[in-house]
Amino acid sequence: MGVANIIFVDKPVGTEFSYAKSLEVYNISGTLVAAELYEFLQKWLKVHPKFLTNSLHVMGDSWVQLS
């Protein structure tokens, strides 16, 4: 019985488990993080259109209060 689906996005780089080899990617703003997350969700839904009819609930933890 499918009740819920969860996507975990570790964003921005440098929080939680994400890392980068280049220091430039650590210099970002909350606006950029939000734009990149929105772009990710749009692309993900294009690849997985069956989820377009599901309701969407966005939650955050840790860095989210700084955005």
Cα–Cα nearest to 2, from 49, 37, 64, 50: 50
**Distance, CA of 6 to CA of 14 (rounded, Å):** 22
Q: For residue 41, how many other CB atoms are within 10 A of its CB?
A: 14
Peptide bond into 12 cis (omega under 30): yes
Of 39 and 5, the structure prediction assigns the larger pLDDT to 39
Q: Is the pLDDT of residue 52 over 80?
A: yes
**Which alpha helices (DSSP H) does 1-67 contain, by range?**
30-47
* Domain residue limits, the chain: 28-66
Indicate whether 4 pLDDT > 90: no
Decide if pLDDT at 24 tops 80: no
- This prediction's pTM: 0.69
pLDDT score for 40: 92
At residue 67 the predicted structure's pLDDT band, cuts being 50, 70 and 90, is very low
